[in-house]
Amino acid sequence: MHIEQNIVDKVNEWLTPTFDQKTQDEIKEMMTSSPKNLEESFYKNLEFGTGGMRGIMGVGTNRINKYTLGKNTQGLSDYLKKSFPGEQLKVAIAFDCRHNSNTLAKVVADVFSANGIKVFLFSDMRPTPELSFTVRHLNCHAGIVLTASHNPPEYNGYKVYWQDGGQLVPPNDAEIVQVIENLKYNEIKFDADESLIQYIDTEIDEAFAKSTIENASFNTSAQARQSLKIAYTSLHGTSIKMVPKVLEKAGYTDVNIVPEQAEPNGDFPTVISPNPEEPEALTMALALADKINADIVFGTDPDSDRLGVAVRNNKGEMQLLNGNQTMVVMTHYLLEQWKKAGKINGKQFIGSTIVSTPMMLELASEFNVECKVGLTGFKWIAKFIRDFPELKFIGGGEESFGFMVGDAVRDKDAVGAILLMCEIAAQAKEKRSSVYKELEQMYVDFGFYKESLISITKKGIEGANQIKQMMVDMRETPVSEINGQRVIMVEDYQNSTARNLLSNETETLSVPKSDVLIYYLEDGSKICARPSGTEPKIKFYFSVNTAIESLEEISAAEVFLDTKIKNIISEMQLN
């Protein structure tokens, strides 16, 4: 097969003595046995997306390996020195359960230390939110987590946090990427200064647990905590290191762990995907819940930032909640607690994202707080905390099964969110209610909002081009009507425009540019198209709603909304 000259040039560079013999041998093997794989490995450089940099492990510029991560770390080291001249620089590093995460974390630590930077390296795998906490707790300038979140086993990744504990955002992200791109591989300093690498573990665990309990506990009685029966799975990931410990310290004694999934394992052998967004991932936890008659089920992804939740419905059956539902339940509860404590005075805010449920705006309005809505990804919610120091952050989330309680952790945090959901469930059970009933009452009070998501996977070079073309088509030939409803507004975040199709007036969007399109229909429905920033997917988000007067109307309203979503998907030819 023909291989483009720019790919050949990259391959030849990787066959020089800058790269170790094993790497060169693997490339030579690919050249003869798998030229297609060679092309995929070198056709581009791995890029930073919504949740950092993720990719398949292997040799090449489009793969996660010692050299691509070494180059990132060298570039970040240079940028830190320029940004904080004269300071003793400090970074914290954590890693998850994935293959090679521990060795890649040590490579990253080596490069930082070779550049004279003090490194706090976790001695074993830890949840991602604990790293975010650690950056601020140890007054670090930056932090790194080696994780690919819920991606398949062949992936790994590299998430960068800044000194506020949040992930990189503009302008730092683009500036750091520029420094990395200008570097040559032979400029990476791999020779560690071991005296600058300090291993951390239990002391930070204790501080993180204490902070979590302070942020996510709300005067639940000891009896209510002890009577809540919990089924929990870490899905072979890192949350096993902290969730059981935090729940025990908080007084939740009836925690039942899925034994087959408790052992960290980068192959994730018992699930198709270690993603709690996928219903299949919680199959074993749901089975355990039915066996022991649990009140609530929790499952976390490998790096413990996402959480899946199932609760008993009105028929006593376990029912999975989606990310929007858990988000509004937790946000509503937090707002109620803050109101009871007399802590709401108009100088507070909750956070959400452009693809999440509009119900968050209704909650904000009811409780007299602001709702700041940003692009997909918790880095934008963390940025709001930094950008608006005059406002106190209460909590916030996004539809992709993430939530953040308070500002001690500046990323989605399954550890704190699980404790908060336990508080909600325990208090509801004590008053003979349930999480499910609380959610139903919210639909009566604030409107019945229902959301759905479709992900279409397109792998490789060809897939990336197909996704690109789909977005081009939707931009250049936008639809004017969907499911019998006129499209009244189109927001194009790549061009920073919001166009009213009825008046033909255009406004400028104030959020940063992103490859996202949102259609608003005249009945209040919302449709969003967004290529994933970390996976070879394009995602379509649907939100529909209707007003109901009583709990008795819920069943009919749900059928009505489900039909509406189904019709929209069919008309857009996405099924």
Residue 514 Cα distances to 8, 239, 410, 530, 542, angstroms: 32, 31, 21, 9, 19
Confidence of residue 464 (pLDDT cuts 50, 70, 90): confident
Q: Does a cis peptide bond (omega within 30 degrees of 0) precede residue 171?
A: yes
Kindly state the tokens that stand for 417: 């969110």
What local confidence, expressed as pLDDT, does residue 50 receive? 65
Above 70 in pLDDT, residue 330? yes
Q: What is the pLDDT of residues 550-565, one digit of tens each?
A: 999 999 999 999 999 9
Instruction: Tell me the CB-side half-sphere exposure of residue 281, using CA atoms within 13 A.
Output: 27
Question: With contact defined as beta carbons under 8 Å apart, do 113 and 188 qualify?
Answer: no
Residue 316 Cα distances to 224, 227, 310, 458, 557, angstroms: 19, 17, 12, 39, 21
Torsion angle in degrees (nearest 10) through CA of 171, 176, 177, 181: 140
**What's the CA gap between 181 and 158, in Å, rounded?**
16
Above 90 in pLDDT, residue 148? yes
**What's the CA gap between 181 and 331, in Å, rounded?**
41
**What's the CA gap between 312 and 294, in Å, rounded?**
9
| 512 Rama sector, left if φ>0, alpha if ψ -120 to 50, beta otherwise | beta
**What's the CA gap between 236 and 249, in Å, rounded?**
22
Largest CA distance in the chain: 73
Phi, psi for residue 254 in degrees, rounded to 5: -100, 65
Above 90 in pLDDT, residue 534? no
Work out the end-to-end distance of the chain between its first and last CA atoms, rounded to an integer number of angstroms.
Answer: 35
List the one residue out of 323, 483, 417 whose CA is nearest residue 129: 417
Confidence of residue 430 (pLDDT cuts 50, 70, 90): very high
What local confidence, expressed as pLDDT, does residue 337 receive? 98
Question: With contact defined as beta carbons under 8 Å apart, do 281 and 235 qualify?
Answer: yes
Whose tokens are 């509801």? That residue is: 428
Kindly state the tokens that stand for 170: 């503009």
Helix and strand element counts for the chain (H, E) = 18, 23
Q: What is the pLDDT of residues 208-255, one digit of tens each?
A: 999 999 999 999 999 999 999 999 999 999 999 999 999 999 999 999
What local confidence, expressed as pLDDT, does residue 451 receive? 96
Please give the average per-residue pLDDT across 318-324, as a whole number: 97
**What's the CA gap between 40 and 46, in Å, rounded?**
11
pTM (2 d.p.): 0.95
Phi, psi for residue 153 in degrees, rounded to 5: -60, -25
Write the CB contacts of 144 (distance below 8 Å, at least 6 apart in sequence).
73, 91, 92, 93, 94, 105, 108, 131, 158, 159, 160, 161
Please give the average per-residue pLDDT across 490-515, as a whole number: 93
Question: With contact defined as beta carbons under 8 Å apart, do 246 and 129 qualify?
Answer: no
Question: With contact defined as beta carbons under 8 Å apart, do 230 and 426 qualify?
Answer: no
What local confidence, expressed as pLDDT, does residue 47 receive? 86
Considering the chain, what percentage of its residues have pLDDT values greater than 70?
A: 99
**What's the CA gap between 26 and 318, in Å, rounded?**
49
Residues labelled as active-site residues: 149
Question: With contact defined as beta carbons under 8 Å apart, do 103 and 95 qualify?
Answer: no
List the one residue out of 206, 296, 277 whose CA is nearest residue 235: 277
Please give the average per-residue pLDDT across 482-505, as a whole number: 94
Instruction: Tell me the CB-side half-sphere exposure of residue 539, using CA atoms within 13 A.
Output: 18
Tell me if residue 454 falls in helix, strand or coil.
strand
Above 70 in pLDDT, residue 535? yes
